[in-house]
Amino acid sequence: MGKKKPIESHLPLTPAVFHVLLALADGEKHGYVISKEIARRTHNEVRLSAGTLYGIIKRLLEDGFIEESEDRPDFSLDDQRRRYYRLTKLGCALAEAEAERMGRVLAMARAKRVLGPESA
């Protein structure tokens, strides 16, 4: 197995990938909840099909940015077919690096007066 690529080599992320990382930032979730949270948080501007979502999850798992959780909710409250995912430390670092990159882009847009100054 070769050396791991630095986080910066994964940037920029696609919006869909970044939204999946954001959905997992506050705790583990299964795919359906990830999808619903993204739609809710973006006021339905971002809606991921099952194929897109699970393709992203597969890539994030392979790259070590998320992992499948062994923890399960109460058996009576859960469908055992569901897979729960959570961010790894590497995944947290990736989400943070992308947010910082986006912040720099927004600062450039403000400097060029494409965007107004931040509200206080």
- Residue 84 reports pLDDT greater than 90: yes
Q: Name the pTM for this structure.
A: 0.87
Burial class (CB in 10 A: 0-12, 13-18, 19+), 85: buried
Residue 120 has pLDDT above 50, yes or no: no
Give the per-residue pLDDT at 80: 67
Q: E-strand spans in 3-108? A: 29-30, 66-68, 84-87
Biggest distance spanned by C-alpha atoms of the chain: 55
Q: What is the pLDDT of residues 62-81, one digit of tens each?
A: 999 999 998 765 555 566 67
Architecture of domain 14-111: Orthogonal Bundle (1.10)
